[in-house]
Amino acid sequence: RQVDIAYCKKPATTTMGSGTLSNGSSGRYVYHLQHYLNRYLASRSYAKMTVDGSFGNTTKAKVESFQQYWNSTHSTKLTVDGVVGPNTRNALAQYVHAL
Residue 42 has a pLDDT of: 93
- Local structure of residue 75 (DSSP, 8 states): S
Per-residue confidence band for 8, with pLDDT thresholds at 50, 70 and 90: low
Question: Over the stretch 30-78, which tens digit does the pLDDT of each residue have?
Answer: 999 999 999 999 999 999 999 999 999 999 999 999 999 999 999 999 9
SS3 per residue for 33-55: HHHHHHHHHHHCCCCCCCCCCEC
Decide if 53 contacts 26 (C-beta within 8 A).
yes
Phi, psi of 22 (to 5 degrees): -150, 180
Residue 9 has pLDDT above 80, yes or no: no
Residue 2 has pLDDT above 60, yes or no: no
- In whole angstroms, give the CA distance from residue 34 to residue 36: 5
The model carries a pTM of 0.89
Residue 11 has pLDDT above 60, yes or no: yes
- In whole angstroms, give the CA distance from residue 89 to residue 66: 11
